[in-house]
Amino acid sequence: MALLQIAEPGQSAKPHQRKLAVGIDLGTTHSLVATVRSGRAETLADSKGTHLLPSVVRYRADELPQVGTKALQHLVDDAANTIMSVKRLMGRGLQDVTRLGEQMPYIFEACESGMPMLRTAAGLKSPVQVSADILRVLAQRGEASLGGDLVGAVITVPAYFDDAQRQATKDAATLSGIQVLRLLNEPTAAAVAYGLDNEQESTIAVFDLGGGTFDISILRMQKGVFEVLSTGGDSALGGDDFDHAIANWVCDQRNIQNLELAQQRFLLRQARQAKEQLSDTAVTTITFADWPETSCPADIELTREQLNSLLDPVIAKTLRATKKALRDAGMTIDDINQVVMVGGSTRVIRVQEKVAALFGRPPLTSIDPDRVVALGAARQADVLVGNQTGDEMLLLDVLPLSLGLETMGGLVEKVIDRNTPIPVARAQEFTTYQDGQVAMAIHVLQGERDLVQDCRSLARFELRGIPPMAAGAAKVRVTFQVDADGLLEVGARELTSGVATTVQVKPSYGLSENEIADMIKASWSNVDADRGARSLREQQVEADRLLASITIAMEADGERLLNENERQAIIKQMETLIVARNGDDHHAIAKQIDILAKATDTFAGRRMDDSIKRALAGKAVDNI
């Protein structure tokens, strides 16, 4: 006998079916994906049982990229095409990576958005594309482990990531096909993983030292509510700096100079091994048996005491940032109840000793520091997709840097201060500088300095249509809205007339919408060539439509409203579009459509003015 399927009206026919969501820790040296199953958060392994995915991508000509362990094996023999520590480049401009040049020996080129592009055997690759390749593998691992398509993912970012770096992370997720439920600060995720949300009241310091980023966050937990009181750190400081300090010491000891890429990678690998071995032993030997050159330097011993002296300057930077975060939160060392250690670099004994000495208590290290962030992100993802009520876990993050506007004299007027809890909306009124001013240029900035030149430009836009008034009479209200991911929208409204404009801030060095679309189309063509043909046809249809409408307009009014030079300029652009339309490059067609549309803007305006004049001709003003 068959059973009837019964469900409450308006509810799911499968009320107990869980939605598949994951938490992703997109790390500098390693990345992980985790989920909640049977009420327990756990990281997901690949087919070989490995949980950690090296954040390394190797590009080859006309082949799919290698990601993870396979790519890691080619750091020495194919260094130029094997990209690691790409997280350090996220959201940065070409000039920003100059100081990392010695540590990241890649060939960089600029692109339209100012993002540094890496030259590889597979062509130019942006940090966003490299990160997307890593995220794609993690998402595939999640779907294979859970047996279905993912609803979405919570992706963690360093708490000190600015708006451009957060947007770049979202761009990477979009490119990889992942629906981002939320960007979550890594220290906040770690606190959730430790279950500190179950305590009634506590103040927590989360010390997060990964491979390439350092974050320190001061969190307050009250009745199940996490509030980030302050954040600090450095998005270009981490365990990689330990490795470079050891490698530089080896070069000094053995007078090694002018290293090739393969030699640099070899030294960094040996330095990393020595650092890890000295967590369990007092002395280790750095060998050159596999040195990528016929003449090998002599092996060298490294003691734990020598290692400590090499690491102390780097650790000191983290302790200074920790003290500053405490001051920003209005706290002292005595106010901290728990210290949570996060990130693989906190396994270094010297780091644990220094942190324990600073806070006067041993830090929490019971959860694998490499997995703790992913586990917390998985718990938050489980809440956001509705598998849990989430009533016991409310996360209030803060802005890492102040947001403001440029005012006269090149000064910055802060609208939202750093460490303000988000989401948040703030408004401030400004006025005009000159009599009769009918437009206002608005420059959005991020940073703590007083001068525009010392802060980061996020966006520029204009408010037009302001009624002519005496200087200072107009009232322009500018509103900043920051969502839970830390992404910004800015709007401006003139209060007397009501004219308004809004911009979704797309930071410098994030991808433009066109670049994202182009990359997605490129990835489609690798899977299904028909999609490329579809795009070509769509652009050809659009080109035909535009050419037909301009031809009709030229026949009707071209000789009357345009001079000979203007007519010939438009005809030339039409002929160029016809050539592109008959080709097979839909990008070229789209570009020429835009050029032709702009070339005819003036003609369209004259036709509209002429039409209005003819419509009103012979009519009295009172009858209009």
Q: How far is CA 183 from CA 246, 380, 489, 603, in A?
A: 34, 10, 16, 47
> In this structure, what token pair is assigned to residue 216?
């320190």
Neighbours of 545 (CB within 10 A): 11
> In this structure, what token pair is assigned to residue 407?
């005012």
Residue from 133, 163, 171, 208 carrying the catalytic annotation: 208
> In this structure, what token pair is assigned to residue 429?
């009124």
Which letter does DSSP use for residue 438 in this model?
Answer: -
Task: Tell me whether residue 125 is one of the annotated catalytic residues.
Answer: no
Q: Provide the pairing of β-strand 201-209 with 214-222.
A: antiparallel
Find the radius of gyration of the CA atoms of the chain: 29
For CA atoms 607, 611, 614, 616, the dihedral sign is negative
Residue from 87, 125, 354, 506 carrying the catalytic annotation: 87
The answer to whether the beta carbons of residues 376 and 185 sit under 8 Å apart is no
Q: How far is CA 324 from CA 191, 385, 397, 459, 505, in A?
A: 20, 36, 18, 29, 29
3-state secondary structure of 547: helix
Q: How many CA atoms lie within 13 A of 392 on its CB side?
A: 10
Which letter does DSSP use for residue 502 in this model?
Answer: E
Q: How far is CA 467 from CA 143, 462, 470, 476, in A?
A: 56, 15, 10, 11
List the beta bridge partners of residue 317.
Answer: none
Contacts of 238 (CB under 8 A, 6+ apart): 28, 209, 210, 211, 212, 213, 214, 343, 345
Q: Cα–Cα distance between 217 and 396 in angstroms, integer? A: 12
Task: Tell me whether residue 87 is one of the annotated catalytic residues.
Answer: yes
Task: Tell me whether residue 208 is one of the annotated catalytic residues.
Answer: yes
The answer to whether the beta carbons of residues 280 and 348 sit under 8 Å apart is no
Q: Provide the pairing of β-strand 300-303 with 283-286.
A: antiparallel
Q: Cα–Cα distance between 421 and 402 in angstroms, integer? A: 12
Residue from 25, 46, 163, 234 carrying the catalytic annotation: 25
Contacts of 508 (CB under 8 A, 6+ apart): 93, 113, 114, 164, 456, 457, 458
Q: How many CA atoms lie within 13 A of 1 on its CB side?
A: 2
Beta strand segments in 309-383, E: 338-342
For CA atoms 300, 280, 77, 82, the dihedral sign is negative
Task: Tell me whether residue 25 is one of the annotated catalytic residues.
Answer: yes
DSSP assignments along 527-567, one per residue: H-HHHHHHHHHHHHHHHHHHHHHHHHHHHHHHHHHS-HHHH
Which letter does DSSP use for residue 296 in this model?
Answer: P
The answer to whether the beta carbons of residues 173 and 132 sit under 8 Å apart is yes
- Tell me the H-state helices in 562-618: 564-581, 586-599, 601-616
Residue from 78, 163, 171, 186 carrying the catalytic annotation: 186
The answer to whether the beta carbons of residues 129 and 171 sit under 8 Å apart is no
Phi, psi of 541, deg, nearest 5:
-65, -45
> In this structure, what token pair is assigned to residue 218?
């001061």
Residues that are catalytic: 25, 87, 186, 208
